[in-house]
Chains A and B, each alone.
Chain A
């Protein structure tokens, strides 16, 4: 299972239990994506002194995380905002292995690709785009990206370039030599 923590180290979202590690990784990716869409949050009211909570759902309606309990709806709304803001983080601490990992999914030439760093160099991208075929690295490629983080929301890259990466960032790597 995994938890999402706010900057003050307070847990703001808790997942279900997964059978294996890769299931949990997929759950993290799902939170990164769905927490950015406010309509995926659902407010709920239970019983007791702190009856208010919310759940985060995937597109198919499956619950991927449950919040803490709150005494009133105002506090609950603060919690929703916090998950919405922090949910796209790529800093993942693996408590079992005792290491910090990065886990995100990006789109390279229309394919979904897993990436484990917060940055991407031109050379890494060429390798990723052409499945390590190596042959293509000598060629001139037209490389563009969109949906990037605030530091580099969209642009182009050339040899030696490096950009910051965020989940669902779109890269296109093309040999543009036909006319």
Chain B
């Protein structure tokens, strides 16, 4: 409920981004995990609370300098009370169950301009004795920040974006519906990357079960117990990435010419299939429906006991789609000749996925894209990265 309010208020956001445990409830701005020294010279943790006024939806400047506290009375390192902040003893219980024990008063000249200054001023006074006894007793603990399902698709706050101040760029991705067709190594890495973006829905299509060799070309570390259960790939990934976010949908089925309509409602599609005939049909279907997509693929083979090969991402968007025939394989190699291999290595799947996600984010205007290339390739033995098929 409160993290969106905090996002909108620069002083509160600054507190949170510096690692303080800030929430808003029961009519108070609340900072938890405040270390202090009690009269027995023990380190304890209390809660600072400040009332606030709201105008419209906007939290106003602090109306006074009084701070409330839940905990024993804070003392100096020698156990004597910190007299300079003393105001009054209270015995109030908030609806959430938090008990307010004291109010403090320590007024700078001109009062407090914002809540950041107000909290930091009291935190300095209260926490300094605790820190002098134990330098691990710090108030900005960088605890995980829980958020509710109604305010975010993530299970805890995306403090990475918040601290970097790139939320307005993130907004270019929200509300999107993404499909990943094929959850092999590359598709799984694509999921790994886009699960950390704020897209609304990620739909996974794959009818395979999770097998031993998948574990060595996929993100994370799959346990033996999980492999023994032979879960469907999409169900396994749904469970894993639901630790981080909501909005993941598992479809334990292969995309074929019979059900390709399933892809007609997406903002962007990642094609990560091994079947070239279906791959090509999907590409043609998406192109004719004006749905932007990226098709990925890699090829690795060995020569003189070393590996070499290339990675490819072929992207299609409404402004460039006439190049697909030159890049997207359309037939499956029937005869197993000496050149057909199925060597896949995790870092190559990961790199292929990374290039595909970069292409999508460039298409969305998340990253600057001066050339608007729709074909990316990378060859291993000369580290040759080629951008091509520019939008015309």
Chain A residues near B (Cβ < 8 Å) = 109-111, 130, 133, 135-136, 138-140, 142, 144-147, 154-156, 158-159, 170, 172, 174-179
Contact = CB atoms under 8 A, between A and B. Distances in A.
B351 to A, nearest CB: 12
A177 B312 CA distance: 9
Nearest to B307: A110
Given A170-B381, A172-B382, A179-B186, A156 B375 contact: yes
A44 B384 CA distance: 40
Interface in B336-392: 337, 339-340, 342-344, 349, 352, 375, 377, 379-382, 384, 386, 388
Nearest to A135: B337
* Complex A-B, nearest 6 residue pairs according to Cβ-Cβ distance, in ascending order: A174-B310, A176-B312, A174-B299, A176-B297, A158-B326, A179-B186
7 contacts: A110-B306, A176-B298, A176-B299, A177-B299, A179-B187, A179-B273, A179-B297
Contact of A177 (B185, B279, B326, B388): B279
A177 B308 contact: no
B139 interface: no
B386 A133 contact: no
A121 to B, nearest CB: 14
A172 B349 contact: no
B172 interface: no
A149 to B, nearest CB: 16
Count class of interface residues, chain B:
35 or more
Contact of B303 (A109, A144, A145, A156): A109
Is chain B's interface secondary structure helix, strand, loop, or mixed overall? mixed
Contacts of B329: 139-140, 175-177
Contacts of B381: 110, 170, 172
A146 B379 CA distance: 10
Contacts of B276: 177
Contact of B330 (A140, A145, A147, A154): A140
A109 B308 contact: yes
Contacts of B182: 179
Nearest to A172: B379
B272 interface: yes
Q: Which has the most chain A C-beta neighbours within 10 Å: B299, B308, B330?
A: B299
B312 A142 contact: yes
B328 A140 contact: yes
A179 B185 contact: yes
B333 interface: yes
A179 B299 contact: no
Contacts of A155: 386, 388
A138 B331 CA distance: 9
Contacts of B328: 140
Given A170-B384, A177-B297, A178-B297, A142 B327 contact: yes
Given A133-B337, A140-B328, A144-B310, 5 more contacts: A170-B381, A172-B379, A178-B344, A179-B187, A179-B352
B335 interface: yes
B312 A172 contact: no
Contacts of B379: 144, 146, 172, 174
B112 to A, nearest CB: 57
B274 interface: yes
B327 A178 contact: no
B298 A154 contact: no
Contact of A110 (B297, B303, B349): B303
Contacts of A178: 184, 274, 297-300, 342-344
A57 to B, nearest CB: 26
A156 B386 contact: yes
Contacts of A142: 297, 299, 310, 312, 327, 377
Interface string B277-307: 0010000000000000000111111011010
Nearest to A145: B384
Nearest to A175: B299
B144 interface: no
